[in-house]
Amino acid sequence: MNEKTLIELREDIRSKKISSTELTKFYLNRIRKHDKKLNSFITVTEEHALNRAKIADAEIAKGEVKKLTGIPIAQKDIFCTKGVKTTCGSKMLSNFISPYDATVIEKLNNEGSIMIGKTNMDEFAMGSSNETSHFGNVHNPWDLKCVPGGSSGGSAASVAAGLTPCATGTDTGGSIRQPASLTGICGLKPTYGRVSRYGMIAFASSLDQAGIFARTAEDCALLLSCMSGYDSKDSTSSKKDIPDYLEECRNLNSTKKIGVPVEFLQDLDGGVAKVFHEAVKELEKMNYEIVDISLKSSKLGVSAYQVVAPAECSSNLSRYDGVRFGHRADNVKDISELYKKSRSEGFGNEVKRRILVGTYALSAGYYDAYYLKAQKIRSLISSEFNAAFKNVDLIIGPTAPDVAFKIGEKLNDPIAMYLSDVYTVSTNLAGLPAISIPMGFKNNLPLGLQVIGNHFEESRLLSLARQFQEVTDWHKRQPGEFK
């Protein structure tokens, strides 16, 4: 059962080969059996899931079937869920129970999906390895000594290990695509504004975007159709029409020319380069024209990101002061000490580091030298992407510079950790859609191929991903211990 795709499971439920209750119990049992090794879930919502499954079975019996009726899904613990703990992987929110649902949760619920739990993550989505969580690090199902990537590592690991057929994630600088690459599954980051951010706890508001983990491009297309759309509660959400992504994913064949940025291949690990060039050969066999392009400013992406994102995080996290909600320190003398102790106790080291960097970059004496300059680089990166898409339909490259690294290997080296996102941050700065799909292995660990599209051209990149998966079987591989 855990080898089946979301699309296949949906057909089994609709044809009554299996009930939603049976399917939900199957995944809950796998979580009980395997998650002690992975630590991919913070909260398992068993009672809620089984109640929802009974409702789904009753609806199916009446012939009232929606897009996701009866399908279990894991939710990243950054999305507010009514009546369920929403921690954001932090001590600061370790006991926070949300009074409302995020729009993403609401939309998926309205399509009949069943939340089976909230997944582990880097604290406030700040990290590239899922080692900064207050609830402990997540393990990669391909090698339990390795990280799954971050910040959405819990969602990625749970899908890769077959504990859920799909999961939500968020991507601020690569936090869906990088863990998808490191765990051998598909991870889709939509265009900024395609999916509402309402109820998604903010890290960097101009960069954050909700997205998807699943086994195939078709699964991602189905979920994207359910999650997308304008939301009056999010002023940055787009009013553009939502296409039938699954239909277009299956039938769109307008892509002809694919660009490969030369900057993505400079200094690339030899083993990763070999796997990537083999993937390029597969695309050439499929009659796509592969051309070299240049994105010179992409080299500056990490530097610009590490100013813009901390600056926005500094502002967004100022609300956690021990007064209204979140962790509150005991035995304080005055309001000043309350602020200081609550934030010192509630935040982990990586969050503190980014708050300090962001506050410094926004300060009166350094705003022009750092933040303003980073925003100029951001505009330059966006302009280069726009120019590139006048000549090519899609852009491809490796998702990550290497396979999953050992737990603890980069934890005390923030610069090395930040460089894990070297190929992904530029798309967030430009607000572009991108997907990571499995393209091969190095040292028995998976590697991802990143496909980047122009704004609101998710159907085009999903179509290419589907076609690639028709001629390869990398997405069908599963970690041996969790088959």
Distances in Å between the alpha carbon of 448 and those of 171, 236, 306, 360, 439?
A: 16, 29, 23, 35, 5
Residue with tokens 């994207």: 224
Q: What share of the chain is helix, strand, coil (3-state, %, to 5)?
A: 45, 15, 40
Angle between helices 46-61 and 20-38 (to 10 degrees): 160
The Cα 321–Cα 463 span in angstroms is 46
Q: Contact, 121 vs 87, CB < 8 A? A: no
- At residue 79, what is the residue type? F
Where helices occur in 39-131 by DSSP H, the ranges are 46-61, 103-110
Cα 12-17-21 angle, rounded to 5 deg: 85
Through-space distance between the first and last CA atoms of the chain, rounded to whole angstroms: 10
Select which of 19, 40, 129, 151 is catalytic.
151
The Cα 223–Cα 245 span in angstroms is 9
3-class DSSP state for residue 290?
A: strand
DSSP 8-class letter at 404: P
Structure tokens at 32: 């009980």
Structure tokens at 111: 């399509």
Cα 442-446-448 angle, rounded to 5 deg: 110
Q: What is the Cα 258 distance to its own chain's centre?
A: 24
The Cα 258–Cα 377 span in angstroms is 25
Residue 306: other Cβ atoms inside 10 A: 22
Residue with tokens 């291949």: 265
Residue 95: other Cβ atoms inside 10 A: 11
Residue 129 is among the residues annotated as catalytic for this protein: no
Cα-Cα-Cα-Cα dihedral sign, residues 453, 459, 463, 465: positive
- Sort strands 445-452 and 41-44 into parallel, antiparallel or unpaired: unpaired
Select which of 76, 189, 341, 410 is catalytic.
76
On the question of a cis peptide bond just before residue 128, with omega within 30 degrees of 0, the verdict is no
Residue 151 is among the residues annotated as catalytic for this protein: yes
- Sort strands 209-214 and 289-293 into parallel, antiparallel or unpaired: unpaired
Select which of 20, 175, 314, 436 is catalytic.
175
The Cα 475–Cα 404 span in angstroms is 17
Structure tokens at 188: 């889709």
Element (H, E) at 21: helix 20-38
Catalytic residue positions, numbered:
76, 151, 175
